[in-house]
Amino acid sequence: MKIRSLAAVVALVAATSLTTTVLMRLGTTAAADNAPEKGAYAQLSSAMSQAPEGPEPLLVNMESNDALSGLMHSDKEKPSEIVVKTAGVYFVVAAIQVGKDSGDSDEYLDVWLNQNGKGVDNSGCRQAVKDPKFTTVLVSQGIAECKAGDVFTVAIAASSPGKGLGIKAIKPKNEPVIPSIIFSMYKIS
C-alpha cells in the first residue's frame, strides 16, 4: 500500500509540474502575442564633417543607421530625413560636434530641428567658435507631437559660410570615431 501511495504522489507531482510548465508557456505565448508593438526609435550618426557653403541652411546628412526601428531613414537616398511611421509623441535629440578649420575671429554656428520643412519653435541653439583648436558639442532637443508621415531634419547655419565653420567628425587613433552628429529619436507615447 505504501509503494502505491508513493507512486501516486510521484505521478501527481509530475503531472502537476508538467501542467504548470505547459500553462506557463501558453501564458507567455499569449502575453507575447498581445504585447504592444515594438518601440519606435532611431540613433543615426555621421562620420563626415559638414559645413554650410552659402547663406542657405545646410540639412545635415546622417549616413549611419546605428539603431533603427519603427521610423524610416535611408542612409543612401535621403540621408538628412527621418520619417515617422506611427503617430505619437517623440523625444528628439540632435547633438553636433562644432568646430572650424581656420581663423581667429568669433564666428558662430546655429543648429535647429525641422518638422515637415518648418523650423521647430524654440529648438535653435548657437555656439561661438574663435579658435580652430576648439570643439564642443551643441545639443538641440525637444518633444514633438507627430503624425504618420511627418519628416524631421536637422539644419545648421554659419555666421561665415564657406570658411570651414561647421560640424566636425574626428577620427582619433585607436578610438571610435567622434561623429559630427549623433541624432536620437524615440516614441514616448
Query: Which pLDDT band, with edges at 50, 70 and 90, does 49 fall under?
Result: very high
Distance (Å, rounded) from C-alpha 97 to C-alpha 109? 11
Can you tell me which residue has the cell 549616413? 63
Amino acid identity, position 148: A
pTM reported for the whole predicted model? 0.79
The rounded percent of the chain whose pLDDT value lies above 70 is 80
Query: Which pLDDT band, with edges at 50, 70 and 90, does 148 fall under?
Result: very high
Model confidence over 98-141: pLDDT tens digits?
999 988 888 999 999 999 999 999 999 999 999 999 999 999 99
Q: What are the residue ranges spanned by the domains of the chain?
A: 1-35, 41-187
What is the per-residue pLDDT for 153? 98
pLDDT exceeds cutoff 60 at 14: no
Q: In this structure, what are the phi and psi dihedrals at residue 169, rounded to the nearest 5 degrees? A: -90, 135
Distance (Å, rounded) from C-alpha 69 to C-alpha 42? 6
Q: Which of 48, 62, 79, 58 is nearest to 161 (CA)?
A: 58
Q: In this structure, what are the phi and psi dihedrals at residue 187, rounded to the nearest 5 degrees? A: -80, 125
Q: In this structure, what are the phi and psi dihedrals at residue 11, rounded to the nearest 5 degrees? A: -65, -40
CATH topology of domain 41-187: Jelly Rolls (2.60.120)
